């Protein structure tokens, strides 16, 4: 897990609420960009008849959706 997403261990006597990790906006934006571009590329390759690249782009879409969902779940 990246360092910026880790939570610091609680300090003895610390009554403050645990700190939330800084939202990795650039990473989330990159996954959304990957999703949009890969989805369009998958459709384009499928229509042209290049099934291998369409499947590869489809896998990239699924992976980016998984990562977007993971970040949104970890922010709760």
Q: Would you say residue 7 has pLDDT above 70?
A: no
Per residue, the 3-state secondary structure of the chain, as one string, reads CCHHHCCCCCCCCCCCCCCCCCCCHHHHHHHHHHHHHHHHHHHHHHHHCCHHHHHHHHHHHHHHHHHHHHHHHHCC
Instruction: Give the pLDDT confidence score for residue 4 in this predicted structure.
Output: 55
pLDDT of res. 47: 97
Phi and psi based region of residue 6 (left: phi greater than 0; alpha: psi -120 to 50; beta: remaining): beta
Q: What is the pTM of this model?
A: 0.61
Give yes or no for a contact between 56 and 44, defined as CB atoms under 8 angstroms apart. Answer: no
pLDDT in tens, 27-59: 778 888 888 999 999 999 999 999 999 999 999
Q: Show the tokens assigned to 39.
A: 């989805």
Res 16: pLDDT: 58
């Amino acid at each position: 897990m990246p360092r910026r997403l880790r939570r610091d261990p609680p300090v003895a006597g610390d009554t403050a609420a645990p700190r939330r990790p800084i939202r990795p906006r650039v990473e989330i934006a990159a996954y959304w960009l990957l999703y949009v571009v890969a989805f369009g590329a998958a459709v384009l390759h499928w229509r042209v008849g290049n099934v291998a690249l369409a499947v590869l782009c489809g896998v990239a879409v699924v992976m980016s959706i998984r990562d977007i969902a993971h970040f949104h779940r970890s922010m709760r």
